[in-house]
Amino acid sequence: MKYLRRLIWYLATRLLVLACVLGLMTVAFYFSMNAANIYVILKDGMAQRAQTVMMGEDRAQLEKYFAKTYIDHDNVLTSIKTGTNPYARYSVTGFDHRLSMDWMWCWPWDDTARATITERIPAIDGKIISTYKAVTPEAQWPVPRWESARYNVVLTRENGQWHIKNMSYAGAVAQTP
């Protein structure tokens, strides 16, 4: 009886350790999968946001990445409606968009994630539209710089797809050449 009890205890402890290791591996897998999906949504969404402001892209494309409620209240996007868009006088042909995810957390079983990102656009290709050359001083002809910034982002998963639900400005970041 003594040997049977030792055998059962040995098997039970090994099964418990195996179950814990498999559980940790599963949590790590889903965390990594969510992190990759969230990074892609952030990178593509922020690039689409910049394209919408600078190049006049269709706002409907933003609904792939952002929640509708956020699109209506974003300060950068509302500058298009209010006529205060600094890129309206320019023909932007391209830009170098860089995004780094500084921090992200999402439990594998949760439908909400939080991230801190840094957005930079160090180079913008474009020129002033010829009709504005006469009314704009020559010193203002180069395309205005995009403000590099750090954002705190909240994302939600709806029907298996992540969307940026809210984004708050967390501070300016030094421009890099």
Overall fold of domain 30-172: Nuclear Transport Factor 2; Chain: A, (3.10.450)
pLDDT digits (tens, 9 = 90+) for 121-161: 999 999 988 888 877 777 677 899 999 999 999 999 999 89
CA–CA distance, 56 with 18 (Å, rounded to integer): 55
Q: How many CB atoms lie within 10 A of CB 153?
A: 23
CA–CA distance, 116 with 42 (Å, rounded to integer): 10
**Is this model's pTM higher than 0.95 or not?**
no
Query: Which residues, other chains included, contact 13 with Cβ-Cβ below 8 Å and sequence gap of 6+?
Result: none
Q: How many CB atoms lie within 10 A of CB 70?
A: 18
